[in-house]
Amino acid sequence: MLPCMAAMQEFFWRMHPLQYLAMLVILLAAVVYSRREYLTQRDGQFIPTALSDLEPAGHLKLLAIFMLVHFGLVRLIYALIIGNKAWGTPSLLDLAGIPVHPDYIYYALELIGVVAVLLYSRRITRVRFHFNLKFRFLPVDILITVGFLALTFGGLYGYQYYFGENHGQWSPFGISAEMGRSKFLVAGALFAVVNALQEELWFRGVLLGSLRTLMRARHQVLLQGLVFGLIHWYGTPQGIMGLVLAGGWGVLLGAWTWRRRSLWPAFIVHVFADWLIFAYTAAKSGSLLAN
């Protein structure tokens, strides 16, 4: 019991209050702006129906709420698995003798959550879900992609130049530059692909797709952008600048996805942007200069 309590303490300690606010905002928005209730009214009383009997808006609410709650679930399960020395929680990986880097655990948990949502949506046969999973990429999207990359580099450069942030050396999936530049670059590319995939599936897929019939288009796009910015409080860039830059970037990606009815253009630009962030900050920290 003590290791579990310590892991929960670590989980809550790491969550910034603004990230809790993100959860509250999306939860309230999913309820307040919803056009239809997932409760049926009988004899003047609201009686919850079975999951299989929910109206489409009810299922979408549940998915939007799960999208919100999954941040906490992933962090909690992650803390229970990898442990934390500060709180005396053991690493289940070490106890089992499994040599797996924590990055693999984190992204596996994220992707498992997405798969669970997709399986849930497929089991509800009378409701058709649209999570922007169809591939649509127009010729003009090439120019939009280039514009996004220029915007990403400009924002990153300005952030580093004017605010003088000094990020530590990168070790994606436990691979550092000292282990060989080729391995380091491959690990960075893997990070870019996996991170972009799970974030786009969650934000421009599940969240934006769930909100589509629950509120107006501009509210959908702004809300998912707000939450995207808030969960990047500890990202690159960090703090309030991370919130503003990542949030604005998320709004643009959300609008692009909403127009295309496809998250894959955003995924493509997200991969390049994550790689650009990795390569730029790694070079600034000296990681790419080793060996």
**How confident is the model over 142-158, as a mean pLDDT?**
87
Most confident of 23-32, 73-82, 123-132, 182-191: 182-191
**pLDDT band with cut points at 50, 70 and 90 for residue 132:** very high
State pTM to two decimals.
0.81
What pLDDT does 45 receive?
A: 44
Residue 230's CB is within 10 A of a number of other CB atoms, namely 23
Across 217-260, the runs of DSSP E, i.e. the strands, are none
Q: Looking at the predicted structure, is the pLDDT value of residue 40 above 60?
A: no
**pLDDT band with cut points at 50, 70 and 90 for residue 64:** confident
**How confident is the model over 130-135, as a mean pLDDT?**
90
Q: Helix 181-200 and helix 102-123: axis angle, to 10°?
A: 30
Residue pLDDT, tens place only, 209-266? 888 777 788 888 988 898 888 777 766 666 777 778 888 999 999 999 999 999 999 9
What percentage of the chain exceeds 90 in pLDDT? 23
The mean-pLDDT minimum among 38-52, 103-117, 123-137, 263-277 falls in 38-52
What pLDDT does 29 receive?
A: 62
What pLDDT does 165 receive?
A: 63
Question: Cβ neighbours of residue 52 under 8 Å, at least 6 residues apart?
Answer: 124
Q: Is the peptide bond before 56 cis (omega within 30 degrees of 0)?
A: no
Most confident of 142-151, 230-239, 281-290: 142-151
Assess contact for 257 and 132: CB atoms under 8 A. Answer: yes
